Structure 1
């Protein structure tokens, strides 16, 4: 139904879109060489950081992204230190 959804304007939420993009990137990462892997991790790092910074303040030095390879599965691990937010800011949406 992907074509019908596209034609008739049914919008997907951002979570499935982000998941699909990560799956594609991980598939390319599995097939890539070390140079390509480094470039992929840099791209993932910057894109994920930009999305998160839209919602909360993030110190770029406190973000770590790592890919662990298994025999049949690769795992993308993202560690982000989120500063404590005031309750008032959370209620206001920022």
Structure 2
């Protein structure tokens, strides 16, 4: 090990860094699955209303966001009731 590499630290390979980050994210997600409803769902619903509201007038109550567990999968269900054309 050279003095320069010791002082600057050795660069890790991009793939190994990405793998470590993914493992951290997965561990965090698995730890948070015990909650019945994740805390990001209300924020997601508000953001959907804001984005769709840029294009059409919509009632915030016409968007429903729900997270369900089916077997080993988490299913995010988004129901949007659009107004009828006039």
Task: Give the length in aligned residue pairs.
Answer: 59
Deviation at 1:51, TM superposition (A): 1.0
Structure richer in helix, relative to its length = 1
Task: Quickly say closer, same or farther: Cα 1:62–1:41, change in 2 above 3 A.
Answer: same
Q: Deviations over 1:22-66 (max 9, x none)?
A: xxxxx76654252871x2111111111111111111111122110
TM-score (norm 2): 0.54
Q: Which residue of 2 aligns with 1:14?
A: none
TM-align CA RMSD? 2.5
Q: Name structure 2 gaps, 5 residues minimum.
A: 1-25
TM-score (norm 1): 0.50
Q: Which residue of 2 aligns with 1:62?
A: 62
Q: Which residue of 2 aligns with 1:43?
A: 43
Q: Which has the larger radius of gyration?
A: 2
Structural mapping, 1:1-94, within 5 Å: 31-32=31-32, 33-34=34-35, 37=38, 39-86=39-86
